[in-house]
């Protein structure tokens, strides 16, 4: 059954359009279960209506014409109840409705299962038999499993279908937006540019071949190079591998010479695709063919075919490298997973927005996009990445929706919203030099989060009172080895100098989790619960000490540095880190450097520290709450996983209560506490954080003036009473609703949606 499912899902994913995908499903399922009819009904988006989209067994003329509401017929009953209906004799059921055009009266046994995606009923998968009799449990579970597996593939095919439909209609129809998650506020409009990891055959998008001849040469040259590579392998293996094993490489050569690999790819280039897209289709077709084989040996050749595909692609991409890729003026970067280095590849003046299939608001890509002031939409799981390159796209970073090939109406609406947003940002400049204080005179200092040298100017320009979180991993990520002490000192000094005399809180290296260093790979099943942050640097004191020394030396003469320790989960770890910091300080003094011991703080991002905030506060100078991680650990929701993103809510009552406990713990020992996670840049949350008595907030420079506007528009009394109200509520969505209403009441509605 597993292989049946895999084959169907692969075939469906490779289908050209929705109709073809559905036809494959009904044919395959009918064969596999041995029934007389298999049909698929799909629900019209939003409307409670089902349309017969494909059938193997019912009258073909009825496909595309029979519609029924959820309140009608047995198929409607399945959709309405969102669970299987298994009947011995369908015509005898009270909900049976006869559609003469289908010829359905001849069938008795009926089994319908809902196709559900993201909790929504997309449609119904039905099998029928002439004979009377209920379907056995194995068939029911098989059909339920097939429907669950196919839901994603159908949603994907629908999205592709919608695109093709739109293309045919020349944009006359309004495109249906694809849902994702807000990543960074703002609206991006531009041309989709698909990014894919190097030599990733599945990530290759379709793209028109500018010159088919040049594409063919590029492909054939790559095949020749791979041929040489394989021959080299055979020579190196001679004498080491038994001949039966080295026969594998002969098979590679045969495949490379075969007309089905080269010929098919060349044909696809002639049909208009660029070489990597044509190669991807050929490889996918071969993989499918091998995978469908019963012979286990041949089945296993799938990996060889894929390997060969990757090698040819690698060689093609190597040929591309020297050429600088040209980016459209308004580039909206799209990818399965957009990484920091992909962002860095696009000239900043061309980068209009970011759309990623994976990730969510607190992924580091989204944080980086916010630091750069670029709208981002994350977790667009149904986005047909391979089909959107070069299309016009709108990414709404507020609602998390994207529109591909938007109609004129949608475009005009977003042009208006963009203008209003620019006006709003422009208007906010007037409060830049005014204090961040509530209407009744309480100060809530605002600091900037940064990590990019290019972000220094915008941070200063935003009126920040200093840097509340300098993420040192960015300078580590963009190099191909650990930066040395002197190299680091220069980078840190630039930041300290730019902000002095304002304070700069520098965090020690926090890699691991979703932040990988290309030259220090860490493979773990559970990276967020694994070796990250202080755990790595305590295990590698040489890295930690070099960084601390660089920071202290950079601070000479400015004295505006504070140190922040990430991912502390126990007093023991803190003590160890303090020993190393004091040692670095002592050694530098011994070396004659005029260093001072900076203020030291701990990030509260692991729940254990919430319960020991009081104790930890005694040992350090300040606390800073990393709500991005704290929320993920308290609620057990991966901050990068779009599938559970709706559960990730920093306004959860448990998070609010934890934060209050941290404030109380710190204040008991007279130590200040701030919030530097993304929660502080969320206007609704900022009010509650002020109400709790957080001493300061640290936000991305693009959010700073917005948060200042919030602070200056409310009174502390109002913030406290909103907090009291929130603490009476036990559901995050009610708290969010209440806070959004409070923002609207205070004339701050423009901060939670696009437009004024």
Residues labelled catalytic: 364, 676
With left for phi above 0 and alpha for psi between -120 and 50, is residue 396 left, alpha or beta?
beta
For residue 697, what is the enclosing H or E element? strand 696-700
C-beta closer to ligand PEP: residue 24 or 662: 662
C-beta closer to ligand PEP: residue 629 or 695: 629
Binding residue for ligand PEP, selected from 445, 677, 681, 693, defined by CB under 6 A: 677
The answer to whether the beta carbons of residues 522 and 530 sit under 8 Å apart is yes
Q: Does 370 bind ligand PEP (CB under 6 A)?
A: no
CB of 542 to Mg ion, least distance (A): 23
Q: Give the C-alpha separation, 486 to 739, whole Å.
A: 47
Q: Give the C-alpha separation, 1 to 80, whole Å.
A: 28
Question: Judged by CB under 6 A, how many residues of this single chain contact ligand PEP?
Answer: 11
Point out which span in 569-577, 625-633, 666-674, 704-712 binds ligand PEP (CB under 6 A). 625-633
Handedness of CA 241, 243, 244, 246 (dihedral sign): positive
Point out which span in 53-61, 190-198, 268-276, 621-629 binds ligand PEP (CB under 6 A). 621-629
Helices (H), 69-191: 73-81, 137-168
Q: Does 627 bind ligand PEP (CB under 6 A)?
A: yes
* Burial annotation 89-117 (CB, 10 A radius, 16+ → b, else e): ebbeeebbeebeebebeebbbbbbbbbbb
Point out which span in 3-11, 83-91, 114-122, 623-631 binds ligand PEP (CB under 6 A). 623-631
Point out which span in 62-70, 204-212, 393-401, 626-634 binds ligand PEP (CB under 6 A). 626-634
**Angle of the 212-237 helix axis to the 301-320 helix axis, nearest 10:** 120
Helices (H), 669-715: 683-692, 701-713
C-beta closer to ligand PEP: residue 112 or 626: 626
| Residues 6 or more apart whose Cβ sits within 8 Å of residue 520 | 482, 511
In the list Mg ion, ligand PEP, none, the entry touching 336 (Cβ below 5 to 8 angstroms by class) is: none
Site for Mg ion in 115-144 (CB under 5 A): none
Strands of 12-133 (E only): list them: 37-43, 49-56, 67-69, 85-87, 109-117, 120-129
CB of 710 to ligand PEP, least distance (A): 19
In the list Mg ion, ligand PEP, none, the entry touching 152 (Cβ below 5 to 8 angstroms by class) is: none
Bond prior to 501 in cis (omega within 30° of 0) = yes
Point out which span in 30-38, 279-287, 398-406, 624-632 binds Mg ion (CB under 5 A). 624-632
Q: Give the C-alpha separation, 185 to 182, whole Å.
A: 7
Point out which span in 10-18, 201-209, 299-307, 601-609 binds Mg ion (CB under 5 A). 601-609
C-beta closer to ligand PEP: residue 469 or 506: 469
C-beta closer to ligand PEP: residue 109 or 477: 477
C-beta closer to ligand PEP: residue 552 or 634: 634
Question: Judged by CB under 5 A, how many residues of this single chain contact Mg ion?
Answer: 3
Q: Which two tokens stand for residue 127?
A: 């099998």
The answer to whether the beta carbons of residues 526 and 632 sit under 8 Å apart is no
Q: How far apart are the first and last CA of the chain?
A: 54
Q: Give the C-alpha separation, 710 to 565, whole Å.
A: 29
CB of 626 to Mg ion, least distance (A): 4
748-to-594, 649, 714, 734 alpha-carbon distances in Å: 48, 21, 10, 19
* Residue nearest Mg ion by beta-carbon distance: 629
In the list Mg ion, ligand PEP, none, the entry touching 627 (Cβ below 5 to 8 angstroms by class) is: ligand PEP
Q: Does 512 bind Mg ion (CB under 5 A)?
A: no
Q: Does 84 bind ligand PEP (CB under 6 A)?
A: no
Q: Which two tokens stand for residue 598?
A: 């900076």
Point out which span in 37-45, 477-485, 556-564, 623-631 binds Mg ion (CB under 5 A). 623-631
CB of 639 to ligand PEP, least distance (A): 8
Q: Does 626 bind Mg ion (CB under 5 A)?
A: yes
Site for Mg ion in 540-599 (CB under 5 A): none
Q: Give the C-alpha separation, 590 to 572, whole Å.
A: 27
Q: Does 629 bind Mg ion (CB under 5 A)?
A: yes
CB of 583 to ligand PEP, least distance (A): 26
CB of 398 to ligand PEP, least distance (A): 21
Q: Does 628 bind ligand PEP (CB under 6 A)?
A: yes
Q: Does 337 bind Mg ion (CB under 5 A)?
A: no
Query: By rule CB under 5 A, what string of x and - marks binding of each residue 714-743 to Mg ion?
Result: ------------------------------
63-to-58, 75, 92, 215 alpha-carbon distances in Å: 8, 15, 24, 41
Q: Does 678 bind Mg ion (CB under 5 A)?
A: no
Q: Cβ of 228: how many Cβ atoms within 10 Å?
A: 10
Three-state helix/strand/coil letters over 354-371: EEECCCCCCCHHHHHHHH
C-beta closer to ligand PEP: residue 363 or 438: 363
The answer to whether the beta carbons of residues 640 and 648 sit under 8 Å apart is no
Q: Does 626 bind ligand PEP (CB under 6 A)?
A: yes
Site for ligand PEP in 589-608 (CB under 6 A): 605
In the list Mg ion, ligand PEP, none, the entry touching 675 (Cβ below 5 to 8 angstroms by class) is: none
C-beta closer to Mg ion: residue 187 or 371: 371
C-beta closer to ligand PEP: residue 627 or 701: 627
Provide the Cα torsion 708, 713, 718, 719; round to 10°: -10
Q: Does 676 bind ligand PEP (CB under 6 A)?
A: yes
C-beta closer to ligand PEP: residue 421 or 638: 638
Dihedrals φ, ψ of 117, to 5°?
-130, 130
CB of 605 to Mg ion, least distance (A): 5
Q: Give the C-alpha separation, 354 to 743, whole Å.
A: 27
Site for ligand PEP in 418-477 (CB under 6 A): 469, 471
In the list ligand PEP, Mg ion, none, the entry touching 676 (Cβ below 5 to 8 angstroms by class) is: ligand PEP
The answer to whether the beta carbons of residues 723 and 657 sit under 8 Å apart is no
| Site residues for ligand PEP per CB under 6 A | 367, 469, 471, 510, 605, 626-629, 676-677
In the complex, the residues that contact Mg ion under the rule CB under 5 A are: 605, 626, 629
């Amino acid at each position: 059954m597993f292989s049946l499912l895999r084959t169907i899902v692969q075939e469906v994913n490779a289908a050209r359009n929705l109709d073809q995908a559905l036809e494959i499903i009904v044919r395959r399922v009918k064969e596999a279960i041995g029934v007389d009819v298999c049909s698929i009904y799909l629900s019209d988006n939003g409307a409670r209506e089902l349309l017969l989209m494909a059938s193997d067994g019912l009258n073909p003329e009825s496909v595309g014409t029979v519609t029924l509401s959820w309140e009608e017929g047995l198929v409607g009953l399945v959709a309405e109840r969102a669970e299987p209906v298994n009947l011995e004799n369908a015509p005898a059921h009270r909900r049976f409705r006869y559609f003469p055009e289908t010829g359905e009266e001849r069938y008795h046994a009926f089994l319908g299962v809902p196709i559900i995606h993201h909790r929504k009923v997309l449609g119904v998968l039905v099998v029928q038999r002439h004979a009377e009799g209920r379907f056995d449990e194995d068939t029911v579970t098989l059909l339920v499993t097939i429907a669950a597996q196919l839901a994603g593939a159908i949603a994907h095919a629908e999205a592709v279908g919608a695109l093709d439909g739109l293309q045919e209609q020349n944009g006359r129809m309004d495109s249906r937006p694809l849902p994702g998650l807000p990543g960074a506020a703002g609206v991006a409009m531009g041309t989709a540019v698909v990014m894919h990891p190097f030599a990733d055959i599945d990530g290759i998008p379709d793209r028109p071949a500018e010159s088919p001849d040049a594409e063919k040469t590029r492909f054939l040259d790559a095949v020749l190079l791979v041929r040489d590579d394989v021959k080299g392998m055979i020579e190196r293996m001679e004498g080491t591998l038994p001949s039966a094993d080295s026969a594998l490489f002969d098979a590679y050569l045969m495949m490379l010479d075969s007309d089905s690999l080269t010929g098919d790819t060349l044909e696809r280039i002639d049909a208009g695709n660029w070489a990597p897209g044509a190669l991807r289709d050929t490889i996918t077709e071969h993989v499918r063919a091998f995978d469908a084989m019963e012979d286990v040996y041949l089945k296993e050749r799938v990996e060889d075919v894929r390997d060969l595909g990757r090698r040819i692609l690698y060689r093609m991409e190597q040929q591309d490298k020297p050429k600088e890729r040209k980016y459209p003026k308004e580039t909206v970067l799209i990818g399965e997973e957009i990484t920091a280095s992909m962002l860095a590849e696009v000239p900043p003046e061309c980068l209009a927005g970011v759309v990623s299939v994976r990730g969510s608001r607190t992924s580091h890509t989204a944080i980086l996009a916010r630091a750069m002031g670029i709208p981002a939409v994350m977790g667009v799981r149904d986005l047909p990445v391979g089909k959107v390159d070069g299309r016009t796209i709108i990414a709404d970073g507020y609602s998390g929706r994207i529109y591909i090939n938007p109609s004129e109406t949608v475009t005009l609406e977003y042009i208006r919203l963009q203008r209003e947003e620019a006006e709003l940002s422009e208007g906010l400049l007037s409060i830049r030099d005014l204090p961040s204080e509530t209407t009744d005179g309480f100060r809530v200092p605002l600091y900037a989060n940064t990590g990019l040298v290019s972000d220094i100017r915008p941070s200063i320009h935003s009126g920040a009172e200093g840097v509340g979180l300098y993420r040192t991993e960015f300078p580590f990520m963009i190099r191909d080895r650990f930066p040395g002490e002197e190299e680091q000192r220069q980078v840190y000094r630039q930041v300290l100098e730019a902000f002095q005399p304002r304070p700069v809180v520098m965090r020690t290296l926090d890699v691991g989790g979703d932040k990988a260093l290309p030259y220090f790979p860490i493979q773990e099943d559970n990276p967020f619960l694994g070796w990250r942050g202080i755990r790595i640097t305590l295990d590698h004191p040489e890295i930690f000490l070099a960084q601390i020394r660089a920071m202290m030396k950079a601070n000479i003469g400015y004295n505006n540095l504070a140190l922040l320790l990430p991912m502390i989960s126990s007093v023991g770890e803190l003590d160890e880190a303090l020993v190393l910091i004091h040692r670095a300080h002592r050694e530098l003094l011994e070396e004659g450097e005029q260093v001072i011991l900076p203020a030291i703080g701990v990030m509260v991002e692991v729940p254990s520290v919430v319960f020991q905030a009081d104790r930890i506060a005694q040992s350090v100078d300040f606390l800073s709450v990393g709500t991005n991680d704290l929320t993920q650990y308290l609620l057990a929701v991966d901050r990068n996983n779009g599938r559970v993103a709706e559960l990730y809510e920093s306004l959860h009552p448990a998070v609010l209560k934890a934060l209050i406990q941290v404030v109380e713990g710190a204040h008991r020992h007279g130590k200040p506490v701030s919030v530097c996670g993304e929660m502080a840049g969320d206007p609704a949350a900022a009010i509650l954080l002020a109400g709790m008595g957080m001493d300061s907030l640290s936000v991305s420079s693009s959010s700073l003036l917005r948060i200042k506007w919030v602070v200056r528009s409310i009174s502390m009394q109002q913030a406290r009473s909103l907090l009291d109200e929130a603490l009476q509520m036990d559901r995050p969505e009610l708290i969010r609703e209440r806070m959004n209403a409070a923002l609207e009441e205070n004339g701050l509605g423009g901060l939670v949606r696009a437009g004024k």
